Structure 1
Amino acid sequence: MKNNRGYGALRRAWGWGLALCWLAGGVAAAEADCSRATAPQRCELNRQGNVSCNDLPADGRHACLQFYTPALSCLRERDAKRCEALRAAHSSCGGLEGKARRLCINERLPPPDCARAANPARCRARAEAELKCADREIAQRLCVRKALQGE
């Protein structure tokens, strides 16, 4: 009987390497071409969000993607005007990436609709704090929190 003690780990490492190469190629292909995606419209919207947040480190990217990725349909959104404005802003800021794109989009977004908020004054104060802290990428949430606590 042969001694095969080292071959299992080698096989696993080889399998993981192939899997990672396959995933990396799939992600790059998915970012480049949304026409071959299962849901091309959703793919394009996600790509727009990624272009807006591609310069941020991983810990700040999630909140950025939530804010700058347009919804698939604005009919179900709480703030439908903002949703439509975000879609229009993405199309008008098409050639920009990263921070320049975020600033371009922020200039074109309307203030949030505080009419239906539980506390309209708090909603307006938060909107003002977010505008004041818009230039901070990673520390934006901390800046907004400090601005709201200062009241």
Structure 2
Amino acid sequence: MPSKLKVFATTIILLIIAFTAIDYFLMYQAAQKLKADKVEVLGITPVKLPYEWKITFLVYIENPSDYIFEVKKITYKVYINGTYIGEDFKKYIIIPAKSRSDQTLTFQFDVRDIGEAAIIILSSDHIEVMVKGTIEVPVKLLRTLTISTVSLPYTYTEIVERS
């Protein structure tokens, strides 16, 4: 018959494992509820005329949970009138609990590198900008050890006026 001390120690260890697993599961569920609920193109502006341009946009990330998340990376691909013009990313962003975080992202490009889309940018006052990307959120065991990553895709299209 096992001693009372062994039973007590085993019970404590099982409780610690159970609470750790529950905490991880709750954090994983909360990470899946994060979402980029809106992307707003702030403008397409010249950096160095006539070739270098910059697109600035905001990604609004909604966190309805009680957890604070550290976003590992936000990736974004930029398309103008359906033509891919490039991609970039932003790393290590803190998203507070029960909040909406506004992340400003910029993408700089040279119109000589993008072919047909360059004519549209240089000649049109209205440009269709599509932004596609993912938000990568690490889910951590005991808030320290990354066990998995939740990838949340987003896509947004907007017709913008060239500044």
TM-score, length of structure 1 as denominator length: 0.31
Structure with larger RCO (C-alpha < 8 A, sep 6+): 2
**Greater helix fraction, Structure 1 or Structure 2:** 1
Q: Which has the higher strand share?
A: 2
Compute the TM-score of the two structures, normalised by the length of structure 2.
0.29
Larger Rg: 2
